[in-house]
Homo-oligomer: A and B are copies of this chain.
């Protein structure tokens, strides 16, 4: 599954679920995405579960999607490779 464009309570968001073999690998991915988020000062919601991480990007201040969210979604894909 690729990135989905969602309208959640009126706020547009980009969301993708990444699958892993176990909890540990999922959490390692969460940390890698957390690193690129800290680098740019723009932070996603990261739902870490056994074998998967759901990453959601949106721009809180504008309650929607900014160019940066698409850039960060692409960078998240790079991290997942």
Contacts and interface: CB of A to CB of B under 8 A. Distances in A.
A23 B40 CA distance: 12
A64 interface: no
Interface in A36-51: 37-38, 43, 45-50
Copies of this chain in its oligomeric complex: 2
Contact of A49 (B23, B31, B45): B45
A66 to B, nearest CB: 15
Interface string A20-62: 0001100100110010011000010111111000000000100
A43 B49 CA distance: 7
Contact of A43 (B34, B47, B50, B60): B50
A47 B46 contact: yes
